[in-house]
Amino acid sequence: MLYFETVNELTLKVTCKGGGILYSKAGSFIGGESYGNKNYTFEKMMLGPGNGAVQAALGQLVRRFTGENLPLMKVTMNGDSVTYYANNSQHVVVYKLAVGETMSVESENILAFTPDCKYEVRFLGCGVISQKGLATSTLTGTNDNCYVAFLTDGNPIVLSNMQSGNTISVDPDSVVCWTGQMGHCDPQIKTDLSWKNLIGQHSGESYAFEWMGSQPVSVVIQPSERLGGIQVSMDSNPMYRR
């Protein structure tokens, strides 16, 4: 049995009782302790999680094709232990998925998850506007031990319309993840392209992910943006990213 918690906002602490398996970002281990001899081992995953070699191989091909490839390692724990994981001083957020709940998350923001989470890459099916708009990595809860730890650049902000029914609009390059029920929480991609983009008078906010009030969802965003999206302009300067 594994239990996730954060330490000082920047580190994931995984407490293992009796043994277990953990999937984490390759190279993210920073320390650990166990009674007696070291009782946990690390193994680089060549294909990624999957039920069988064929499914794992197909999953790897999809992740490479969509840019959602995630270098993972498998941590095998043979007894009680406490291990710690981090990545470049990024903030760590722990979330426990309910049964049937899905988290759609950028692969680069995944730090670790338990094998009880069903991991796959799927297409949003709403067009290619952002470089991050084609596909998303998803983790779905299958039982009551589905932990996910994800990374953010700075303290995250959570926008939720679960109670308010509001419309949520965010910059795709600042999105970390969103949670809701599978099939009902994917965003629409809204664009605002015009002749101004061609003469360098764009606002820098030409596209957005949007969830209507009829789509109950919680969205996590970070106070920084990836360098992505469409850059259509006669201006040679790169698009300003906050």
Q: What is the 3-state secondary structure of 104-117?
A: EECHHHEEEECCCE
pLDDT at site 188: 85
pLDDT at site 71: 83
Quick check: is 230 in a domain?
Answer: no
Show the beta-strand stretches assigned E in the chain.
Answer: 2-7, 11-16, 20-25, 29-34, 40-44, 72-77, 81-85, 91-97, 101-105, 110-113, 117-123, 135-141, 146-152, 157-160, 168-170, 175-181, 188-191, 207-211, 218-221
In this predicted structure, the answer to whether residue 158 has a pLDDT above a threshold of 60 is yes
Across 126-146, average pLDDT: 70
In this predicted structure, the answer to whether residue 127 has a pLDDT above a threshold of 50 is no
Question: Structural domain tally of the chain?
Answer: 1
Quick check: is 231 in a domain?
Answer: no
**pTM to 2 decimal places:** 0.79
pLDDT at site 226: 75
Quick check: is 242 in a domain?
Answer: no
pLDDT at site 125: 52
Token output for 191: 């664009």
Predicted confidence (pLDDT) per residue in 59-115, tens digit: 555 545 444 457 889 999 999 999 999 999 999 999 999 998 999 998 889 999 999
Instruction: Tell which residue, 233, 21, 25, 76, has the closest CA to residue 12.
Output: 25
pLDDT at site 191: 72
Quick check: is 119 in a domain?
Answer: yes
pLDDT at site 184: 65
Percent of the chain with pLDDT over 70: 71
Across 172-181, average pLDDT: 89
CA 75 vs CA 142, 146, 162: distances in Å: 20, 16, 35
Q: pLDDT-derived band of residue 228, with 50, 70 and 90 as boundaries?
A: low
Across 118-137, average pLDDT: 62
pLDDT at site 121: 79
In this predicted structure, the answer to whether residue 238 has a pLDDT above a threshold of 50 is no
pLDDT at site 50: 56
pLDDT at site 185: 77
Helix (H) or strand (E) holding 195: helix 195-198
Q: Which residues contact 52 (CB under 8 A, 6 or more apart)?
A: none
Token output for 109: 């923001």
Q: Where is pLDDT greater, at 225 or 150? A: 150
Percent of the chain with pLDDT over 90: 52
Instruction: Tell which residue, 137, 179, 174, has the closest CA to residue 156.
Output: 174
* Pair 11, 90: CB distance under 8 Å: no
Tell how strand 110-113 and strand 146-152 pair up. Answer: antiparallel
Angle at 147 between CA 142 and CA 148, to 5 degrees: 110
Q: Where is pLDDT greater, at 194 or 118? A: 118
Quick check: is 45 in a domain?
Answer: yes
Range of the domain at 112: 2-221
* Pair 190, 130: CB distance under 8 Å: no
Quick check: is 100 in a domain?
Answer: yes
Q: What is the CATH number of the domain that holds 170?
A: 3.60.160.10
Average pLDDT of every residue of the chain: 80
Q: pLDDT-derived band of residue 150, with 50, 70 and 90 as boundaries?
A: very high
In this predicted structure, the answer to whether residue 26 has a pLDDT above a threshold of 70 is yes
pLDDT at site 40: 97
Q: Which amino acid is at 95?
A: Y
Q: What phi and psi values does residue 65 have, to the nearest 5 degrees?
A: -65, -40
Q: Which residues contact 122 (CB under 8 A, 6 or more apart)?
A: 135, 136, 138
Quick check: is 128 in a domain?
Answer: yes
Whole-number Å distance between alpha carbons of 167 and 115:
34
